[in-house]
Amino acid sequence: MTKNIALCGIEKELVSTPERWGEYRLLRFCDEPERRGDVKLAYFLRDGPPVSLAVVGYPGAKGLAACDYLRTQSRELPILWLCSRREFEAEAKRIGVAFYDTDSLTTSLLDTKLPIDISKVTAKTGACRSAKMKNISKENTALKRKAKRVEDIMKIKQMAERLNRFSVRQKAKRIVALTLAMLMVNPVTGYGVTAHAQEGETITAFAKLSSEITTQQLAVGAKKSDIYLPETLNVTIGVSSVKTKENAAETPQTEENLTEEVKADESPADASTVWDNSAEESQAGANSPENNTATDSKATVVMDSGEVPLAANTDGFAISAVSGDVDTEPAEAVQITAEERTLMGITWEINTQRSGSDIFNSAHAGAVFFYEPVLPQGYVLADGVSLPQIQVQIEQNNQWAFSQNQTLDGIKITVKAEKGVFPEGAFLHAKKVNNTEDKEKIQSAISEEVKAENSAKTVTKLVSFDITITDAEGNELQPDTSKGEVKVSFAQLPMVTEAATSTQELKVFHMDDTLSTATKLDTTVNEETKSVEATAEHFSLYTVAMLTATAETGEASVTDSADTVTYYDTIEEAILVAQSKVNSTVKLLKDAGTESPIQITTGSFILDLNGKTMTYTDASGRGTTAIEMKSGAKLSVKDSVGNGGITAANARNSITAGSGCTLTLYAGSYTGIDTMPELVSSALAEGVDFENLDNTDEWISRATIALLNMQHVGNVRVGKMPAAVEVSEQGGGVHYYDTITEAISGAISLPESTLKLNKDISLNSELRITGGTFNFDLNGHTLTFTGSGNVMLQQGASITFKDSVGTGKISNSSIWATIYIQGDANAKLQGGTYENAKSGGEGINVLGDRNIGDLLVEGYIYRNLSDNAYISDTSSYKIGSVKVVPAPLKITNQPQDKTVQFDYTELPTFTVGFSKTVTENPTFKWYSVGTGTGGADEAMDGEETAVLAVEAGKSAGQYKYFCG
Contacts (Cβ under 8 Å, ≥6 apart) of 772: 744, 747, 748, 749, 750, 751, 796, 797, 798, 799
Q: In the structure, what pLDDT confidence band is assigned to residue 110 with cuts at 50, 70 and 90?
A: low
As a whole number of angstroms, the longest Cα–Cα distance in the chain is: 126
DSSP 909: E
Give the mean pLDDT of 588-593: 92
Residue 192 has pLDDT above 70, yes or no: no
Q: Where residue 621 falls among pLDDT bands split at 50, 70, 90?
A: low
Peptide bond into 677 cis (omega under 30): yes
For residue 798, report the phi and psi dihedrals to the nearest 5 degrees: -140, 95
Please write the tens of the pLDDT for every residue from 653-697. 999 998 999 999 999 999 999 998 999 999 999 989 999 998 866
Whether 4 shows a pLDDT value over 50: the answer reads yes
User: How would DSSP label each residue in 431-469?
Assistant: EE---HHHHHHHHHHHHHHHHHH-TTEEEEEEEEEEEEE
Contact in structure between 37 and 31 (CB atoms under 8 Å): yes
Higher pLDDT among residues 515 and 278, named by residue:
515
Q: Which residue has the higher pLDDT, 323 or 496?
A: 496
Strands, sheet with 961-963, edge to edge from the N-terminal-most edge strand: 938-939, 926-928, 961-963
Q: Are 420 and 413 in contact (CB under 8 A)?
A: no
What amino acid occupies position 180?
L
When pLDDT is cut at 50, 70 and 90, the band that residue 878 belongs to is very high
Radius of gyration of the chain (CA): 43
Q: Which amino acid is at 851?
A: N
Check residue 186 and give its pLDDT.
41
pLDDT digits (tens, 9 = 90+) for 273-313: 333 333 333 333 433 334 433 333 333 333 333 333 333 33
Q: Residue 549: which pLDDT band, with cuts at 50, 70 and 90?
A: low
- What is the sign of the dihedral through the CA atoms of 290, 296, 298 and 299? positive
Flag the least confident range among 133-137, 586-590, 610-614, 668-672.
133-137
**pLDDT value at 23 more than 70:** no
Give 884: exposed, middle or buried? Use CB within 10 Å, 0-12, 13-18, 19+: buried
| pLDDT attached to residue 528 | 61
pLDDT score, position 955: 85
* 336/596: higher pLDDT: 596
User: Measured between alpha carbons, how far is 610 from 584 in angstroms, rounded to an integer?
Assistant: 15
- Least confident piece of the model among 120-124, 394-398, 939-943: 120-124
User: Residue 883 in contact with residue 856, Cβ under 8 Å?
Assistant: no
- What is each CA distance from 472 to 103, 124, 409, 416, in whole angstroms? 10, 39, 26, 17
Percent with pLDDT over 90 in the chain: 35
Would you say 882 and 834 are in contact if contact means Cβ atoms under 8 Å apart?
yes
* pLDDT number for residue 529: 64
Taking the domains of the chain in order of start, what are their residue ranges? 3-113, 402-549, 556-718, 725-887, 892-963
Distance of alpha carbon 544 from alpha carbon 408, whole angstroms: 14
CA dist 511 and 524 (Å) reads: 18
Q: Report how far residue 404's alpha carbon sits from residue 397's, in angstroms, rounded to the nearest whole number.
A: 17
To which H or E segment does residue 68 belong?
A: helix 60-73
Give the helix/strand (H/E) hosting 27.
Answer: strand 24-29
Q: CB within 8 A of 276, min separation 6: which ones?
A: 177
Task: Judge whether 3-113 and 402-549 match in fold.
Answer: no
Predicted confidence band of residue 149 (pLDDT cuts 50, 70, 90):
low
Q: Is the pLDDT of residue 495 over 60?
A: yes
What percent of the chain has a predicted confidence (pLDDT) above 70? Answer: 75
What integer pLDDT is reported at residue 108 of this predicted model?
52
- Which of helix, strand or coil describes residue 149? helix
CB 814 within 8 A of CB 843: no
For residues 296 and 834, the model is more confident at 834
The strands making up 390-395's β-sheet, listed across from edge to edge, are 215-219, 390-395, 368-374, 347-350
Ramachandran region of residue 867, left (φ > 0), alpha (ψ -120 to 50) or beta? alpha
Helix, coil or strand: residue 574:
helix
3-class SS of residue 352: helix
Q: 61 with 212: CB under 8 angstroms?
A: yes
Specify the pLDDT at position 400: 80
Measure the CA dihedral 695/696/701/707, to 10°: -20
Predicted local confidence at residue 452, as pLDDT: 83
* Phi-psi label, residue 437: left if phi above 0, alpha if psi -120 to 50, beta otherwise: alpha
- Residue 319 identity (one-letter amino acid): I
Band of residue 527 on the pLDDT scale cut at 50, 70, 90 = low
Question: What's the confidence (pLDDT) of residue 612?
Answer: 95
Least confident of 13-27, 636-650, 795-809: 13-27
Q: Give me the count of residues in the chain.
A: 964
- CATH architecture designation of domain 402-549: Sandwich (2.60)
Segment 29-54 mean pLDDT: 84
Q: Report pLDDT for 158.
A: 56
Tell me which of 3.40.50.12710, 3.40.605.10, 3.40.50.2300, 3.30.930.10 is the CATH number of domain 3-113.
3.40.50.2300
Supply the mean pLDDT for the chain.
Answer: 78
User: Which pLDDT tens digit goes with each residue over 322-378?
Assistant: 333 434 444 445 556 788 888 988 999 999 888 868 899 888 877 889 999 999 988
630 or 456, higher pLDDT: 630
pLDDT for 65-97, tens place per residue?
A: 899 888 888 888 899 988 888 888 888 888 889
209-246 pLDDT, tens per residue? 877 788 888 878 888 888 889 989 999 998 755 554 44
Q: What angle do CA 690, 693, 696 make, to 5 degrees?
A: 105
| Strands 817-821 and 870-871, sheet pairing | unpaired
Q: Which residues of 289-320 are buried (b: 16+ CB within 10 A; e: fewer)?
A: eeeeebeeeebbbeeeeeebebbbeeebbbbb
**Mean pLDDT calculated for residue range 507-515:** 92
Q: Rounded distance, CA 164 to CA 605, Å?
A: 79
User: Sign (positive/negative) of CA torsion 644, 649, 653, 657?
Assistant: negative
What is the per-residue pLDDT for 1? 60
Cα separation, 797 vs 157, in Å, equals 49
Q: How confident is the model at residue 321 (pLDDT cuts 50, 70, 90)?
A: very low
pLDDT (mean) for 538-550: 85
Between CA 635 and CA 599 the distance in angstroms is 12
Q: What pLDDT, on the 0 to 100 scale, is given for residue 419?
A: 87
- With cut-offs at 50, 70 and 90, classify the pLDDT of residue 451: confident
